[in-house]
């Protein structure tokens, strides 16, 4: 794969630049929206949910921001990745290039936006009285796992979207459901142990929980939790890679 990337490095870099510029084309604020959008969502969620869920939750603003930060990265990456094949059909139907490059470029663009928002998140942590510790270094681990999950889910969605255009509507519904079961604005402590374990089936919640434990609690999770996160990332990527390999030659007939 590294050899293929090296051969198509110029194309990949141009795709990333194009996707980044396209997202903010004809906007007044431009790149500022990558920061303003999650901040506005955070403000709305804080105003709506503070009185209902946040009265007994320490550092509730940071708690909300962790959930919104992770979920927005997942939602943007997968939603944009879903249309990556159809949006670039004019290229790969004429030139023989690896089709997953288009999805990867979308994810790099979303990762850049995530990095900008992460910087703002750290500023909010300081304002919220969060103590920075050496454990913050371990945030690279869930970020890497989430990126792999985003790519894997994106591979699955983009492949399905070629054959079933209904996926764009179904995924919007799935995203809404996933948001409510990811404990973004509420805690899972009030549920019994069995229900709490069911939350761990959701990889987005697993990433959010990791962020909160490191940032807010200042502690580390067990090795088993790290393995769970890696396993969910590997499963998502494995299924997506298998679908691309199996249906690679059929994509040309449906775009």
Per-residue pLDDT at 202 exceeds 70? yes
Per-residue pLDDT at 159 exceeds 60? yes
Mean residue pLDDT across the chain: 84
What's the chain's length in residues?
Answer: 255
What percentage of the chain has pLDDT greater than the value 90? Answer: 40
Q: What is the pLDDT of residue 98?
A: 76
Q: Which residue has the higher pLDDT, 206 or 29?
A: 206
The total domain count for the chain is 1
Per-residue pLDDT at 152 exceeds 90? yes
Q: What is the pLDDT of residue 105?
A: 86
Chain Cα centroid distance, residue 49:
23
Q: Which residue has the higher pLDDT, 15 or 149?
A: 149
Tell me the two tokens of residue 203: 């990889």
104-118, 182-196, 211-225: which is most confident: 211-225
DSSP at 138: G
- Across 204-217, average pLDDT: 95
Per-residue pLDDT at 60 exceeds 80? yes
pTM, to two decimals: 0.86
Helix (H, G, I), strand (E, B) or coil at 77: helix
Per-residue pLDDT at 55 exceeds 60? no
Q: What is the pLDDT of residue 177?
A: 94
Provide the domain limits for residue 204.
2-254
- Across 199-207, average pLDDT: 95
Residue spans of alpha helices (H) in the chain: 2-7, 9-23, 33-53, 60-82, 84-87, 89-92, 100-127, 140-163, 167-180, 193-199, 203-212, 223-247, 251-254
User: How far is 75 from 32, CA to CA, in rounded Å?
Assistant: 19
Per-residue pLDDT at 120 exceeds 80? yes
Q: What is the pLDDT of residues 123-149, one digit of tens each?
A: 888 888 888 889 999 999 999 999 999
Q: What is the pLDDT of residues 232-253, one digit of tens each?
A: 999 999 999 998 888 877 877 7
Helix (H, G, I), strand (E, B) or coil at 31: helix
- Cβ contact 41:67 at 8 Å: no
Lowest mean pLDDT among 69-83, 91-105, 129-143, 226-240: 91-105
């Amino acid at each position: 794969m590294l050899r293929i990337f090296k051969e198509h490095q110029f194309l990949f870099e141009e795709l990333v630049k194009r996707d980044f510029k396209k997202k903010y084309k004809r906007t007044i604020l431009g790149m500022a929206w990558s920061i303003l959008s999650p901040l506005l969502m955070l403000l709305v969620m804080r105003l709506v949910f503070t009185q209902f869920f946040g009265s007994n939750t320490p550092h509730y603003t940071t708690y909300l921001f962790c959930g919104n930060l992770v979920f927005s990265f997942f939602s943007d990456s997968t939603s944009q990745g879903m249309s990556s094949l159809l949006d670039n059909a004019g290229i790969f139907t004429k030139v023989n290039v690896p089709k997953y490059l288009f999805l990867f470029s979308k994810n790099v663009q979303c990762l850049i936006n995530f990095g900008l928002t992460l910087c703002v998140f750290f500023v909010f942590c300081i304002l919220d009285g969060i103590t920075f510790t050496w454990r913050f270094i371990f945030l690279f681990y869930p970020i890497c796992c989430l990126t792999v999950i985003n790519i894997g889910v994106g591979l699955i969605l983009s492949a399905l979207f070629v054959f079933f255009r209904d996926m764009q509507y179904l995924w919007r519904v799935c995203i809404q459901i996933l948001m409510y079961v990811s404990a973004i604005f509420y805690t899972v402590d009030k549920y019994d142990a069995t229900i709490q374990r069911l939350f761990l089936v959701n990889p987005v919640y697993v990433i959010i929980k990791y962020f909160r434990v490191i940032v807010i609690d200042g502690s580390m999770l067990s090795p088993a939790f790290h393995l769970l996160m890696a396993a969910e990332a590997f499963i998502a990527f494995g299924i997506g890679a298998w679908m691309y390999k199996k249906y690679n030659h059929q994509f040309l007939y449906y775009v």
